[in-house]
Amino acid sequence: MTQDELAELLRDCPTLYHMAERGSWPSIHKHGLLSTTALLDRYKIAGAEREAIEAARRPISVTLEREDLGRAVLRDQFPMDDKGLTRCLDDALTPADWYRLLNAKVFFWLSRDRLLRLLNAGLYRLEEHDVLVLDSASLVAAYADKIWFCPINSGCTKPFPHPRGATTFRRIPAYPYAAYRAKRPRGERVVELAVDYAVPDVAKFVTKVLRMQGNAELAALFER
């Protein structure tokens, strides 16, 4: 991806979105947006308990809690399973490899349409969520060296497990933007933006936080 292509992407997708657990915004504002791996480090989860969370599918959400740290919720991974991953993974990757890879990153959608698909997926549509709305350009400028672009929903294998492997996530300069521009509309040329490990100062880039259920915006929790 050239600088001109990156500029075009940021013009087309000026806003990033992250769906978080209901009530999590105060903690995110204070501690930042942490990947599953970062949260496991913070809560000092180790051994078999960590392996079960970090290297295997989470069929249900997992709550981490400590008196000195409070509560954090690791979302379920119901749209993805071992059977689907075994069918679609390349480069000799195993499902455990893929879970570890995803758990080490913080994810953002580049389009509201993708956000709404997630908000309306499965049981999520029955729940309320804290949705972070961020300025794309400022986050990309600050975290460029830690950002990966992905052309698919990497955490989904249903109803069809799209092929994925070691090169599905690409650093910004290596992302084949021109190839996706030729066959995809604006807003779909990059599907996910992922950041290594954590965005501790994420509040700097947040323009708005909404309480949402499905398509409905129930309340504004924060607005810059």
pLDDT digits (tens, 9 = 90+) for 7-22: 999 999 999 999 999 9
Q: All domains of the chain, ordered by start, with CATH?
A: 3-223 (3.90.210)
pLDDT band at residue 184 under the 50/70/90 scheme: very high
Average pLDDT over residues 51-55: 97
pLDDT digits (tens, 9 = 90+) for 123-168: 899 999 999 999 999 999 999 999 999 999 999 999 889 999 999 9
Pair 144, 172: CB distance under 8 Å: yes
pLDDT digits (tens, 9 = 90+) for 75-105: 999 899 999 999 999 999 999 999 999 999 9
pLDDT band at residue 122 under the 50/70/90 scheme: confident
Which whole-number Å values give the CA distances from 179 to 101, 173, 187, in the listed order?
24, 14, 14
Which whole-number Å values give the CA distances from 7 to 45, 114, 143, in the listed order?
40, 21, 15
